[in-house]
Amino acid sequence: MKIVVLAGGISPERDVSLSSGALIAGALTRRGHQALLLDLFFGADARGFDAAYAAQARNTRSYAVPDSEPDLDALRAAGARRIGKNVVEICADADVVFLALHGDIGENGMLQALFAIHGIRHTGTGYAGSLLAMDKTLTKQLLRETGILTPAWRTVDPCCGSIPEDTPYPCVVKPCGCGSSVGVSIVDTPAQLAQAVDRARKYEQTVLIEEKIEGREFSVGVLDGKALPAIEIIPRAGFYDYKNKYQAGLTEEVCPADIPAETETDLRTAALRVHRALRLGSYSRVDFILRADGAAFCLEANTLPGMTPTSLLPQEAAAAGISYDELCQRIVELALRPEGRKK
């Protein structure tokens, strides 16, 4: 098949996306596909898939995530567009697009809606579920209405953006629509709160102030309607921030998780409930904090989970007997099924 692996873009998670995309393109090539790694931001001079594929350098397709976020201002200086040259035309010429994007229009439903208009088949979730999962306030409202535990929160909007004086501590401050722990701070005292909000607003004006639940951190992948084994996330220092996520050796990941069978079942069941409540597609990953009393609080759902060398979903799939290459192949096959992607 002719497959565009769409990565990069202008998101703070650009480097994560390029790392995922490089590995995915390599896996699909090994499976016998024509896999074109295409940067959403820069695009290509060629107008169709065949020409772009022929012009693509046959490099090693490896990309290491730096320990700091990318300089997006430098990228923006190269042009104001968010979708690069000939991207839509090349994607429309492919059999399917594997979305290896993270954050911004690649994950908030905007690109998915554009592809729906153009009839472009793609992996992952459709536009509605992508919007619901990327906007953390919408996610939490829907989870609460569905009866799924999620930490208490307040939203600080740019239009009425006073910081609540009665904010409980400790708390977690994060941008409302970013992933990969970009712009996230743990706040222990009132003196730290304003600075944490300002940091989050570097990425997005709407900020979430969330109750900090003490407990163990887990993630559960969902693939084709089935929950994968839970993975426990144990940073060696600090919390599971951008650096600890993507620099090898800074976080211990245990999969299958060392938890009782009943707890494993509860986490998998909760992940499936979240996946369905948010109208997610053929695969996702749901993150939890497990309190000492056994209560599992959902932090967020990821519609396009990372596929980097340190990412969680491939580790969970491996624990279920699914190799990285097979995981990529299955995600492609699910995208081609009529029911594989919801709106």
Catalytic (active site) residue 221: no
To the query of whether residue 246 is one of the catalytic residues in this protein, the response is yes
Q: Are the C-beta atoms of 5 and 38 separated by less than 8 Å? A: yes
Which residue in this structure is represented by tokens 């970013």?
178
Is 14 among the residues known to form the active site? no
Q: Which of 11, 86, 302, 311 is catalytic?
A: 302
Q: Is residue 283 annotated as a catalytic residue, yes or no?
A: no
Contact 140, 177 (CB under 8 A): no
Could you confirm whether 76 is annotated as catalytic? Answer: no
Instruction: Write out the two tokens for 318.
Output: 């491996």
174: how many CB neighbours lie within 10 A of its CB? 25
- Joined together, the tokens standing for residue 175 give 């941008």
What is the DSSP annotation of 221-278?
Answer: EEETTEEPPPEEEEESSSSS-HHHHHSTTSEEEESS-SS-HHHHHHHHHHHHHHHHHT
Amino acid at 286: V
- Which entry of 287, 324, 340, 341 is annotated as an active-site residue? 287
13, 135, 204, 210: the active-site residue: 13
Q: Please confirm, yes or no, whether 302 is among the known catalytic residues.
A: yes
Choose, from 285, 311, 316, 324, the residue flagged as catalytic.
285
Instruction: Tell me which of 109, 124, 183, 306 is the catalytic residue.
Output: 306
Contacts of 203 (CB under 8 A, 6+ apart): 12, 175, 178, 182, 183
Of 17, 14, 8, the residue nearest 43 (C-alpha): 8
The answer to whether residue 47 is catalytic is: no
* Active-site residue (options: 300, 316, 340, 341): 300
Strand boundaries in 1-76, DSSP class E: 2-7, 34-39
Cβ distance 20 to 40 under 8 Å? Answer: no
CA 87, CA 102: separation in Å to the nearest integer?
17
Per the residue annotation, which of 240, 246, 283, 324 is the catalytic one? 246
Confirm whether 210 is a catalytic residue.
no
Q: Cβ(317)–Cβ(306) under 8 Å?
A: no
Q: DSSP letters of 106-162?
A: GTSSHHHHHHHHHT--BSS--HHHHHHHHSHHHHHHHHHHHT-----EEEE-STT-P
Q: Which residues are catalytic?
A: 13, 180, 246, 285, 287, 300, 302, 306
